[in-house]
Chain A
């Protein structure tokens, strides 16, 4: 029998699993893996400039393609730098396989150079994690890793590879089948429960669909739209569920939650049947938990049993993949709902439409309006903060436009690497990244990656010189004491200094394009210029007013009906 090293088997596994892209950063414990990757040409290696950016890139690659994102980092600091990205992927159910180097087995536990217990560190933030302790287990563990990452509720898997295990000779076989006795993802729908749910929906006077990220992950958008068209039941979405149906659909009301629209939050508070699909009922969407949907019977479809009746007690639980459940539902459903209910929702929308005060100059709304008007297809990736909330409020989505955002963990620094990962996975798509001046600086080194990979990204920075979302809380609830949120403070007695860094100059220093927009009439032109660049990213810095706030807003811990309207 031909024997090969573990390193060779890993590279073989990547090919068998169809891994065309690997995001990797080298180190002493993984140098042999790098060497094997160098010798083959199936898997293309992307070299980011920081492991945190690396894992976000793999994450956005996975979110935008539906494939498993693959990371390789070395032991110790390489591995710990992945932690934030693993937690981000875990919260938003993103399939990742992260390979980490590990010191040789005889050194484990010695506090060896660049040794950490990464499996221990990531235990509570990944779907599965294991150190490969025997060469003969390697093939099976690799096979299981990809299977676990992409099936059921997808999530990150961490595989820790001791250097000596990887150097050892062993079987060249890569298993074809998976058999994990403790892991059998649900693959059918309980028809009885589903019929009960449909009956409940059919009888309702004020029915409402709540679509979460599960609908997007299951790629059930078109099926869901069909369901909505047949039933004529209005739809609200979570931030992760935005785009579950096109946002210009007549039955789409808006997002719910802390910065959801008035009509959406009123609808959920007043509906009598809430039919929810693929959501965890996170505290940011429920507000005060005991007063969420107080008048409603709740139906909940989710692939993850543990997400059902966890935050909200539900009346009809259905464990299933969103696409499979909706497809089955289409066999039974008929038109339901009432005209009065739709009229009521429209009335709420007219009373308090989602809007931003009209004023002269560059405003977030005007920037998003241009994106909506001038881009018929795009993948939009956000960072975290005010700009993210404005984007989720005002960005129009349909089957040609996608939104990627760190919803669950709220990870600043996601926006730039996320755009890189999305573009690498979708070379023909227009990729727009929307960031604040705070979060953009958390992974700003990725200019090097984007320029060297020749990625024509459109990188928007909404610069208000503040960590705007925290500032908004300080503005509203902390007596305008802007502690730790001013990014460019003027020293006593001095005039305000120019912003550091000079984003435009910085972009140029990397070989990217840079445009600063300070006038409203230059917004569209900046986007047009950025679009014309095909060989490198373009940064567009929009200077905006720090007094621009995100409204409506539910006070932390308040109920959905108590909204600050601005």
Chain B
């Protein structure tokens, strides 16, 4: 089978100029060319003139090569790093609010929190707020589980942020 056509999750770490309009230029590329965009996070770096983005996309290899080239040719893009097969640290924050809980639900939620090393960050008479910090795919799993177990949940997720492992840089 041609491995080039396999759809899978892929990640890019992007250094860009910290300027007005750069975010919309990057996200505009994905919509204009019909590239999938799973998540995009952005923040300034140690150098205030530079922002760093972590982009997650699900596509085949050919499309991914195109995405990297298209990003590279943008004047505002300083550096494109393919995180897909690199040793990196990557996490996503996930908040889940579970509503309409009775005591049994709450007990169950505390167990789930323990299993996933999540934190219960807020507590009400009939609701609980959990915070998870783990990979995006583990967060996917948590959301699936909570949806099955509880009637009403409210989800917000931050998108993956990633950085190269130090052992990578040392090698």
Chain A residues engaging chain B, CB cutoff 8 angstroms? 119-120, 123-124, 127-128, 130-131, 133, 148, 180-183, 304-306, 308-310, 313
Interface set, chain B 100-151, CB cutoff 8 A to A: none
Which of A124, A131, A182, A305 counts the most B-chain CB atoms under 10 A from its CB?
A182
Partner of B32, one of A124, A306, A313: A124
Would A148 and B28 be within 8 Å (CB), given that A131-B20, A306-B70 are in contact?
no
Closest to B76 in A: A182
Interface set, chain B 13-40, CB cutoff 8 A to A: 16-17, 19-21, 24-25, 28-29, 32
CA distance A370 to B90 in the complex (A): 69
Q: Are B74 and A310 in contact (CB under 8 A)?
A: no
By a CB distance below 8 angstroms, the chain B residues around A304 are 73
Q: Are A120 and B20 in contact (CB under 8 A)?
A: no
Partner of B24, one of A120, A180, A181, A183: A120
Q: Are B73 and A123 in contact (CB under 8 A)?
A: no
Would A305 and B69 be within 8 Å (CB), given that A119-B21, A182-B17, A182-B76 are in contact?
yes
Cross-chain pairs A/B with CB under 8 angstroms, 5 sampled: A124-B28, A130-B21, A133-B20, A182-B77, A306-B72
CB distance from A76 to the nearest CB of B (A): 19
CA distance A148 to B76 in the complex (A): 12
B78 near A: Cβ within 8 Å? yes
Q: Are A180 and B75 in contact (CB under 8 A)?
A: yes
B154 near A: Cβ within 8 Å? no
CB distance from B55 to the nearest CB of A (A): 16
CA distance A131 to B21 in the complex (A): 9
Interface set, chain B 36-77, CB cutoff 8 A to A: 62, 65-66, 69-70, 72-77
Can you add 4 more A-B contacts, CB < 8 Å, to A123-B21, A180-B75, A182-B76? A123-B25, A128-B75, A306-B73, A310-B66
Would A182 and B78 be within 8 Å (CB), given that A124-B32, A304-B73 are in contact?
yes
Would A181 and B69 be within 8 Å (CB), given that A123-B25, A131-B20, A133-B20 are in contact?
no
Q: Are B66 and A120 in contact (CB under 8 A)?
A: no
Closest to B77 in A: A182
CA distance A148 to B75 in the complex (A): 8
Chain B residues engaging chain A, CB cutoff 8 angstroms? 16-17, 19-21, 24-25, 28-29, 32, 62, 65-66, 69-70, 72-78
CA distance A184 to B80 in the complex (A): 14
Q: Are A306 and B69 in contact (CB under 8 A)?
A: yes
CA distance A124 to B28 in the complex (A): 7
By a CB distance below 8 angstroms, the chain A residues around B24 are 120, 123
Q: Are A305 and B72 in contact (CB under 8 A)?
A: yes
CB distance from B24 to the nearest CB of A (A): 7
CA distance A458 to B75 in the complex (A): 40
Closest to B49 in A: A181
Closest to B15 in A: A182
Closest to A153 in B: B73
Q: Are B21 and A182 in contact (CB under 8 A)?
A: no
Q: Are B74 and A182 in contact (CB under 8 A)?
A: yes
CA distance A218 to B12 in the complex (A): 33
CA distance A328 to B74 in the complex (A): 28
CA distance A552 to B107 in the complex (A): 76
By a CB distance below 8 angstroms, the chain B residues around A127 are 75
By a CB distance below 8 angstroms, the chain B residues around A133 are 20
CB distance from B158 to the nearest CB of A (A): 26
CB distance from A180 to the nearest CB of B (A): 6
Partner of A182, one of B28, B32, B69, B75: B75
Q: Are A120 and B21 in contact (CB under 8 A)?
A: yes
Give me the 3 closest cross-chain CB pairs, A-B, nearest first: A306-B69, A124-B32, A182-B78
By a CB distance below 8 angstroms, the chain B residues around A306 are 66, 69-70, 72-73
CB distance from A136 to the nearest CB of B (A): 14
By a CB distance below 8 angstroms, the chain A residues around B62 are 309, 313
Closest to A119 in B: B21
CA distance A364 to B75 in the complex (A): 44
CB distance from A290 to the nearest CB of B (A): 13
Partner of B75, one of A119, A183, A308, A310: A183
By a CB distance below 8 angstroms, the chain B residues around A180 are 75
CA distance A308 to B72 in the complex (A): 13
Closest to B71 in A: A306
CA distance A124 to B30 in the complex (A): 11
Would A181 and B28 be within 8 Å (CB), given that A130-B21, A305-B73, A306-B69 are in contact?
no
Closest to A305 in B: B69
By a CB distance below 8 angstroms, the chain A residues around B21 are 119-120, 123, 130-131
Q: Are A123 and B74 in contact (CB under 8 A)?
A: no
Closest to B65 in A: A309
CB distance from A141 to the nearest CB of B (A): 11
By a CB distance below 8 angstroms, the chain B residues around A119 are 21
CA distance A148 to B74 in the complex (A): 11
By a CB distance below 8 angstroms, the chain A residues around B29 are 124
Q: Are B72 and A181 in contact (CB under 8 A)?
A: no
Closest to A148 in B: B75
Closest to B21 in A: A119
By a CB distance below 8 angstroms, the chain A residues around B73 are 304-306
Q: Are B28 and A123 in contact (CB under 8 A)?
A: yes
Closest to B66 in A: A310
CB distance from B159 to the nearest CB of A (A): 22
By a CB distance below 8 angstroms, the chain B residues around A148 are 75
CB distance from B68 to the nearest CB of A (A): 9
CA distance A313 to B65 in the complex (A): 12
CB distance from B96 to the nearest CB of A (A): 35
CB distance from B136 to the nearest CB of A (A): 28
By a CB distance below 8 angstroms, the chain B residues around A183 are 75
Closest to B79 in A: A182
Closest to B31 in A: A124
By a CB distance below 8 angstroms, the chain A residues around B70 are 306
CA distance A310 to B70 in the complex (A): 10
CA distance A133 to B19 in the complex (A): 11
CB distance from A314 to the nearest CB of B (A): 12
CB distance from B115 to the nearest CB of A (A): 44
Closest to A311 in B: B66
CB distance from B106 to the nearest CB of A (A): 47
